[in-house]
Amino acid sequence: MSTAVTPANDNAPLVIRWEPEHETDEFSVYMHFTELQVLTTNQTRQFNMSGALFLQNYSPPYMRVFTIYSVSALSGKEIKFSLERTENSTLPPIMNAIEIYKVKQFHQSDTFQGDGKPPNYHILYPFLLFLQLFCYDLKHI
């Protein structure tokens, strides 16, 4: 990750929100954070996240990705996240990437339930053993 977003105003929160087409639509969300710049001793980036996901006094690690995600599906009239800098922070909140997936329910399986199961080799084993021995004998004639 080499890019990030910050609020347009350094003192304002970074807000991500959307209104789903249907209140019952469900979403899984993954947010990725990493500090891209080497902070000086008098610089601090620390923020809280409120809304559908929650973080408190978080400081992204330098060039190491931290991901927060929704454990269960999110739904409602509005889905909103707000990243707000703490009082100790000299820098605004940062977010490097967000992934949003709409949950799709499959009420009927599209595949045959027996797919992926190993064959019953114990039934075929005597035949395969006979075939192997027969082919061995033919080679030595």
Query: 75-106 pLDDT, tens per residue?
Result: 999 999 999 999 999 999 998 988 899 988 77
Q: Which of 50-59, 79-88, 101-110, 112-121 has the highest mean pLDDT?
A: 79-88
What domains lie within the chain, and their CATH numbers? 1-106 (2.60.120)
Structure tokens at 80: 């909103």
Query: pTM score, two decimals?
Result: 0.71
Query: What is the pLDDT at residue 140?
Result: 47
Quickly tell me which residue has 């929100």 as its tokens: 17
Question: What element of type H or E holds 130?
Answer: helix 121-139
CA distance 72 to 67: 15
* Residue 115 or residue 123, greater confidence: 115
The model's confidence at residue 113, banded by pLDDT at 50, 70 and 90, is low
Structure tokens at 49: 């996240």
